[in-house]
Every structure is written in C-alpha cells, then in structure tokens.
Amino acid sequence: MRTRRLIMLATIVLVSLALAAPSSASAADEYGSTNKWPWSGYWWPMLENGYNLYSNNGPMQKYDQYLTATGQPAGAQSWEKTNHYTNDKANSWWGHCHAWASAAILAPEPTAVTRNGVSFNVNDVKGITTSLYYEPTYKWLSGNRVDDANDKTSAAYKDISPAWMDYLLRYYVRYYKYPFIMDVNADSQVWNYPVFAYQRSSTTTGNVETVNTTVWFSSPDWNATGTKYFSKTYTYSLQAGTLGTWTGASVSDHPDFAWIPTGKSAGAGTNPLITEKNVEAITGLDV
C-alpha cells in the first residue's frame, strides 16, 4: 500500500444491495433522514479499466484541454496517471470513493457543461470535483481501520461497535439531519459511502434491546444524476454499560469506521493542477 492514511484508501464499487427506497417508517419503527441526500458520482479506480480519471477523453484530459484553452499550463492527466495508478490487480479496489463521498456531502451536484469549447459530461464534472477532495479535512467519529486481511478477532475488526453506530445514526441523521461516511467493510479493504437515512426497529427483553436497523447509503454510479442508493441491514443487541454485540450475519458484515468530511484537500496527494478556482469556473458552482 502506498499510503497508510485511513481515509485515503480506495474502494471497489458496491452493487446496490436493495432497491427499496427509504421512506417514512411505521409507528413501531424509528426513521431518520438527512436534509440533503449526497449525490452519486463514480469511485474512479486506480487500476486501469477505461473508467479512470486519467483515461483518454476522460476528466483529466478534458481538464487539460480547458487549461490550454485558458492559457494555463496543462499536465493534470499525466500527474494523475503517475500518482494515482496501480497495475496490481490485487489493488483493484484502490480508488477515490472517499473523495467522491466527501464531495457528495460538501459540494453541490455538478451537471454537464461546455466551457471554452470543451464539453464536460456529468462524469467529467463530477470527476474533477471529486479530485478536490482527495485528501479532505475531516472529523473522525468512531472505529479503527482493520489492516490485516486475516483479522477476524481483534477489537478493530469488531468495531464500529453497535452502540456507536446506533448513536451516530440517531445523532447525525435523525437529529441534525446531516450525512456522514462509513466504511461498510469490516476487513482490510475500505469501502467509503455516505449515510443519509436509516430505519430502526427493536424489541426489549429484560435489560437487553434486540435491534434491526436498515441503513441507506449513496452509491457510486456511472452517468448518475441525483442520488442512487443501496441499503444494508444490521442486527445487534444493546445493553446498558456495554458497547453492544453484533448478531447474525452482522458479526462479519458490519461497518469498520465512521468519519465526516469538513473541507477540501489539504495534502500533497491531491492533484496540484486541479484548483478550486478552475473547477468552479468549469462547473459554475461553489464547490
């Protein structure tokens, strides 16, 4: 791995797991939704597959064309290919899911435009906007990233604890109506997706609450407009004085960590040719 930063790791695209839309729950259930549903963009893998930021006729090449048309030095495509590329198929999940998830929360959704004779489709404008958030400033919320692919027993593998996930959903999504990001994969790969809604039901026996919670995430989709989404359902038990216990399939299929982006990139891993000024000039938005 070329970087050990926790949220600068990439992800493979996750196929939508459920088609049911989040909606108001029954009286017996608890439902929460954010005011803004983060928009769907693409996760832009580093392994070359024709759907990369550095692809010919892709976002960086068109951005370079814009730079040339406006009398600025080009080189964004070349920098991207040099710095955000892998030829190791074991790293097929490396990409920009964390950057897209951050942009989807913090920036308005871009639409296709033509600037200075250069036509940017929806993937192009979302790609260059995503690049601004490759190393976002952030607030860590909970959990520890699992590094070892064979780790199935450590505290890092077992977190986020059920009590913390339960709290974050209620605090951010239901109370503040604001999205946050979770790595939905408990093992060493990192799959970052924005959380925007949940539905929770439970039964209580004695001092133990048995909980079933469905969480909706924005999904990364090609040629997407608006919010495409998938859901995952988690089961767990809660008891006062403990961090809770994952149950059923959630023992091995639960989130790894949670965080919330607070601003654009603040590190050397971000493409230096991609500037806020140029992206705003292209998109016409305050990104």
pLDDT digit string, tens, across residues 92-120 = 999 999 999 999 999 999 999 999 999 99
Provide the whole-model pTM. Answer: 0.89
Residue 14's pLDDT is what?
Answer: 33
| 283 within 8 A of 115, measured Cβ to Cβ | no
Residue 267's pLDDT is what?
Answer: 77
Residue 154's pLDDT is what?
Answer: 61
Residue 141's pLDDT is what?
Answer: 94
Find the farthest-apart pair of alpha carbons in the chain and give their distance in angstroms, rounded: 71
| 261 within 8 A of 137, measured Cβ to Cβ | yes
Between CA 287 and CA 269 the distance in angstroms is: 19
Compute the C-alpha angle 196/50/48, nearest 5°.
Answer: 90
Residue 204's pLDDT is what?
Answer: 95
**Ranges of the chain whose pLDDT falls below 50:** 1-20, 24-27
Residue 149's pLDDT is what?
Answer: 57
> Which residues are CB-contacts of 44 (< 8 A; sequence separation ≥ 6)?
51, 52, 53, 95, 96, 99, 100, 127, 130
Q: Which residues are paired to 260 by β-bridges?
A: 139
